[in-house]
Amino acid sequence: MEQSQALKLVKPHLTEGRYRHTVGVMETAMILAERFGEDSKKAETAAIFHDYAKYRNKDEMRDLVKNKLSRKDILDYGSELLHAPCGAYYVEHEIGITDQNVLNAITYHTTGRPEMSGLEKIIFLADYIEPNRTFPGVDEVRELATRNMDEAIILMLQQTIAFLVKRRQLLYPLTLETFNESIRKQRGEN
């Protein structure tokens, strides 16, 4: 699908600020794809639709994860996590995207997962470092992302988990598994 066409389809689902974020994720993801030898067209598509369900009805999404997506466990960790797996479902069924790697990149963009594909890593990271993000520590992750995607992801997970702990938010087990696996892999490589 043409970039302009995809952006036109996602726009009515987002606020103005969220649309700006989406364009930032798209541009960042395409740069990362070039840099790390991944398919930049898939990165573009996954990025454009990654937050497609951000503002969907929460009860509808709770019903969807419970009954259609077999991800019932997500319901115990607050409502912020719903938009990722539900977004992939809606994008498949409403937009007609069928590429499983693109759909997985959307499903896992908030938590990551162990053994992510290159495309999944790119969307996970681009969502965090796109130019409109201003969290403390984001520049260090941006710097690492210029040369080592796995190191950038470790720092991003470290900061995200610390942020959640500080606010006494529940940690979703998959977020922790992603972190643990990244650390194990890094140790194996050193």
**CB 130, CB 145: distance < 8 Å:** no
Residues 6+ apart with CB under 8 A from 167: none
Looking at residues 23 to 52 of the shown chain, list those that interact with Fe ion (rule: CB under 5 A): 51
Q: Does 170 contact ligand DGI by CB under 6 A?
A: yes
Number of neighbours of residue 11 by Cβ within 10 angstroms: 14
Residue 37 or 166 with smaller CB distance to ligand DGI: 166
**CB 95, CB 86: distance < 8 Å:** no
Question: Minimal distance in Å, beta carbon 164 to ligand DGI?
Answer: 6
Looking at residues 72 to 131 of the shown chain, list those that interact with ligand DGI (rule: CB under 6 A): 77-78, 80-81, 84, 109-111, 127
Q: Which does 80 bind (CB under 5 to 8 A by kind): Fe ion, ligand DGI, none?
A: ligand DGI
Question: Minimal distance in Å, beta carbon 184 to Fe ion?
Answer: 26
Residue 28 or 160 with smaller CB distance to ligand DGI: 160
Q: Which stretch binds ligand DGI (CB under 6 A): 67-75, 90-98, 100-108, 164-172?
A: 164-172
Binding mask 110-139 for Fe ion (x = CB under 5 A): -----------------x------------
Q: Single out the residue of 117, 159, 171, 181 in contact with ligand DGI (rule: CB under 6 A).
A: 171
Interface residues toward Fe ion, by CB under 5 A: 51, 127
Interface residues toward ligand DGI, by CB under 6 A: 21, 51, 54, 77-78, 80-81, 84, 109-111, 127, 160, 164, 169-172, 175
